[in-house]
Amino acid sequence: MSLNDTIARVTDRIRERSLNSRATYLDRMAKAAEAGPRRAHLSCGNQAHAYAAMGGDKPELVASRQPNIGIVTAYNDMLSAHQPYETYPNLIRKAARDAGATAQVAGGVPAMCDGVTQGRAGMELSLFSRDVIALAAGVSLSHDTFDAALYLGVCDKIVPGLIIAAATFGHLPAVFLPAGPMPSGMPNDEKSKVRQQFAAGAIGRDALMAAEMASYHAPGTCTFYGTANTNQMLMEFMGLHLPGASFVNPNTPLRDALTVAGVERAAAITRLGNDYLPVGEVLDERAFVNGIVGLMATGGSTNLVIHLPAMARAAGIILDIADFHDLSEAVPLMARVYPNGLADVNHFHAAGGLGYMIGQLLDAGLLHADVKTIAGGGLDKYTAEPKVTDGRVTWVDGARQTLNDKILRPASDPFASTGGLRQLDGNLGRGVIKISAVAPDRHVIEAKARVFTDQEQVKAAFKAGEFTEDTIVVVRFQGPRANGMPELHSLTPILAVLQDRGLRVALVTDGRMSGASGKVPAAIHISPEAAEGGAIARVRNGDLLRLDAVTGTIDCLAEDFGNRHPATADLSANGHGMGRELFTAFRNHCTPATEGASLIV
């Protein structure tokens, strides 16, 4: 089928907007590639340092006739999603030797868990950790001894940070190796109910702890469809994973076989062979549009509305939140995965998963088929399903029919006609709202404002029983320049309790919600932020606000609103403790959330 008109129009708009920056980027990458394998230009002393610990691989490295693959790893055993990476380097080194190549761990990058830091001071480092990851990966690859790179990362900021680095070193081929989701534990909806019961005081901490431990119980990614699993979807839609690799459980024969196949592919696409594929050519405007289409079709994390513009800028491509809105209007919601449904990602994968979805979207003309991918060829290769036979991967035809239409539906009969992400614009500024899990009768909320400057104040007001009428909770001074833009996910149970009590409630904030945000209307990423004197800083308690996800507007209805001076806040406490003093430059100089909230791109 021919390409959908909206997909084509938005792609052309992005291409035109990015014409100069993309041309400059591609020229820079071409010059970086011209000299060929970089190791040949290192002095003997440089090389001796690089190969001193490589044992039996030294002769091949010195000869420079075989590809040398750099491994950039986000391994730590504090994140369940990244713990499986502990064993990857040895597996990769062996696979590289078998493929006629060598491999070295080029370096490690930090990987923090938002599930651990949620509601804590450490969360104020979370968003900016993406830029630190990119910087650390850049340091890893700066030794200039690699012909390709393997990126080992899964979670919230890690994959976006690694993409920024991969694009910066865009003359190198890049393969992303996932680790997979943990097996299913306590159903996510049951866990959510327990959290709400605890927030309402109906159960004690022992019951809450038991539920949480039953949910997060093994190595692998958390099984809800938050930012980590959205990242994995994105890498497949953008052609940087091998087909079907995203949601295979850790420590299984298929998982290991896919890792080996990824190493083989990295070795095959270096400049030393006949199939050179630098990642800068993969990361074009079509790949980013395909990623956004996947975001909408799956009901993915709102965090990617911040990350994707930053990722794209590293490749010379400029995205705007209007692109997300327009693509959302054209793309049907085909999946119901928690928090947008009851299923987890394992159930989604079993129902046909990404292969089925990509096939459907291609048939509907909603994806660019003619993109470059690490699999070699276009996106149609990603409709296949991997199988393991005698320790090796083969690909067979993937599902052509959904295997569970309560989880996954065809593009012609979706759960909703649009992706559920809306741009908001009004006298409060610009922002976004995700409505794929919000009941239609709550798409428009008009109510009086209660204004807070941090989430602890909201919790205190809830405990004091102060929310007794329809309310729009405004939490401001939570943007990137105020305090690093922490997620406000710990407000979700409280707001859900108020909504379940029959109140019409919503959240308006210049901060972020978690990728697991769900049924409560939340206008997020409001820009300009309060710390920059944005309009959200002029809201007062009792103002009548209107959040309208149908028309895409967000306004304060007070007659004198435009004439008010913006409120200020004492933000000095955000500048120290838990490492926050190290991130002063990030807070002072980052771009707005609508441009990626980044210091480095």
Enumerate the known binding-site residues.
155, 222
Token pair for 454: 């941090």
DSSP designation for 181: B
First to last CA, the chain: 36
Binding-site residue ranges for [4Fe-4S] cluster: 155, 222
Token pair for 579: 């490492």
**Distance, CA of 157 to CA of 144 (rounded, Å):** 25
Assign 328 to helix, strand or coil.
helix
DSSP codes of every residue in 316-364: T----HHHHHHHHHHS-B-B-BTTSSSB-HHHHHHTTHHHHHHHHHHHT
**Distance, CA of 239 to CA of 382 (rounded, Å):** 8
**Distance, CA of 25 to CA of 282 (rounded, Å):** 13
Find the helix packing angle between 88-98 and 253-268, rounded to 10°. 50
**Distance, CA of 438 to CA of 512 (rounded, Å):** 17
Map 207-273 to HEC letters: HHHHHHHHHCCCCCECCCCCHHHHHHHHHHHCCCCCCCCCCCCCCCHHHHHHHHHHHHHHHHCCCCC
Smallest CA-to-CA distance from 26 within 238, 284, 270, 266 is with 284
Listed in sequence order, the residues at least 6 apart from 90 whose beta carbon sits closer than 8 Å to its beta carbon are none
**Distance, CA of 198 to CA of 207 (rounded, Å):** 8
DSSP designation for 570: -
**Distance, CA of 426 to CA of 553 (rounded, Å):** 5
Query: Would you say 591 and 130 are in contact if contact means Cβ atoms under 8 Å apart?
Result: no
Pairing of strands 553-556, 544-548: antiparallel
Listed in sequence order, the residues at least 6 apart from 560 whose beta carbon sits closer than 8 Å to its beta carbon are none
Per-position b or e across 346-373, b if 16+ CB within 10 A of its CB: bbbbbbbbbbbbbbbbbebbbbbbebbb
DSSP designation for 309: H
